[in-house]
Structure 1
Amino acid sequence: MGASTVLIASMNFQSFGDTLITILGQDVAEQATEQKGDIVRIFATDTNATIGYNFFKSQQWVPELGEHNGKVDLTTAQVAALNAALKQQGFTPELVLDLTPKFVIGHIDTFEEHPDSDHLHVAQVTVDQGETLQIVVGAPNAALGQKVVVAKVGAFMPNGAIIWPGELRKVPSYGMMCAARELQLPNAPQRRGILIIPDSVPTGTAFDFAKGAQLVAAQNAQ
């Protein structure tokens, strides 16, 4: 599993005003900040790796965002403007736009019992671009051969959580198989269990939230 390019952006104008938050990496225990002008860099103290930037008074660089609340889908031009602002303030212009889908249709290729759990399983899941991810899953309805919705590393969940590489009982996991309720699809069942996708949907395609809502409605009608 190679390193992923991550650039997640969000605003909460209602709570924090005109501040654009960009995230490049996962939080660590020891981190620090440095501010130059209206930009704050957050970084890991041991490696100096950038975790993210906060752009105060962000409309001076991306005025079209306005009073936005929630995830921000930055454009190529907006990322270029933010990188120019970083360079102007003396930071490294290191924002890299990632347009690859983070919610994709995956196929469960292998499905084995977790070595240290009686309810978790370890799966190898083919996603987009021929990539295979190891994912630890605890859903009771997950099984070999299914097609599922995979939130890849860098996915910004509807509840605001971000998917990062992790471990469940010392077994690495590089994504999450999603339930309909975790995707906040309308009328999603409020119980444990991932959303199973029909076999006719091609592996590796981006998950369509509107079609997902239709699938849930059809399943509820059965």
Structure 2
Amino acid sequence: MITSINKRSYPNTLIVILAQDQGKSSYIEKNDITQVTDEQGNVTGYNFFNVDQLIDYDKLPDGQVELTDEELTKLNEKLSQVGFDTQLGYGEPTLVYGYVKTCDPHPDSDHLHVTTVEVGNDREVQIVCGAPNIAQGQKIVVALPGTLMPNGQQIWPGALRGVDSFGMICAARELGLPHAEQKRGIMVVPDDFTVGAAFEAQKCDELLANGKIQL
């Protein structure tokens, strides 16, 4: 579940994304809530309008927001009140530390690589990566499907030159870190970072500032 706010383009609105859109979307409006479904009838998200009546909108930042238990409860109560069956819930973190288990040349590209990345809980994902410094044995930051990046990009499964990819291996600049250099290349974190643990922006930026993270 991605929850985000864009105070300039969509004032006083909380956007909730539950899944990737598949084909043409349909909309059902009830009071201050719009439900979004795809062509198969799957619920892919909600827009909560006049959301300041439910939660403290002014304190929330632009971009992705982390809801408190109290805020989530109020949103679910509102969904039930207006007649929607869906109940929102927290998911596992989607921006995590990973380990590059394998890294092979893409069969149809001279610069892409096909990687197998461990992301915790005995789970591995295949990710196509175009960074020039990607290599086997690195610990890196992975944006898994369902991640909303600081620039507003949403990460979903896709394919690059015919090879399936289930996430993105991140550069420091893509993570919006203040001390990131504006150049190509993924960020390599220290070996003692725990695979599957949630990304810590402040910690990584401090290491960047002190030259303790590779670019």
TM-score, structure 1 as length reference: 0.88
Residue of structure 1 in register with 2:177 after alignment: 185
Residue of structure 2 in register with 1:75 after alignment: 68
Q: Equivalent residue of 1:125, what SS? A: strand
Separation of aligned partners in 2, 1:145 and 1:114? 18
Separation of aligned partners in 1, 2:202 and 2:134? 23
Residue of structure 2 in register with 1:119 after alignment: 111
TM-score, structure 2 as length reference: 0.91
> Quick check: 1:39–1:54 contact (8 Å CA) kept in 2?
yes
What is the deviation of 1:208? 1.8
Residue of structure 2 in register with 1:48 after alignment: 41
What is the deviation of 1:130? 2.2
Gaps of 5+ in 2: none
Please state if 1:92 is matched with 2:85: yes
Residue of structure 2 in register with 1:4 after alignment: none
Residue of structure 2 in register with 1:66 after alignment: 58
RMSD of aligned residue pairs (Cα, Å): 2.0
Gaps of 5+ in 1: 1-6
Can you list the C-alpha shifts for 1:163-194, whole angstroms capped at 9, x where unaligned? Answer: 11111112111111111111121231211100
Can you list the C-alpha shifts for 1:36-92, whole angstroms capped at 9, x where unaligned? Answer: 111111111x21111111111112222x23363332211223222212211221211
Identify, as 1 or 2, the structure richer in helix: 1
Separation of aligned partners in 2, 1:97 and 1:159? 22
Please state if 1:160 is matched with 2:189: no
Residue of structure 2 in register with 1:137 after alignment: 129
Please state if 1:12 is matched with 2:33: no
Separation of aligned partners in 2, 1:36 and 1:26? 22
> Quick check: 2:115–2:126 contact (8 Å CA) kept in 1?
yes
1:17–1:221: structure 2 CA closer, same or farther, 3 Å change rule? Answer: closer
Aligned length: 213
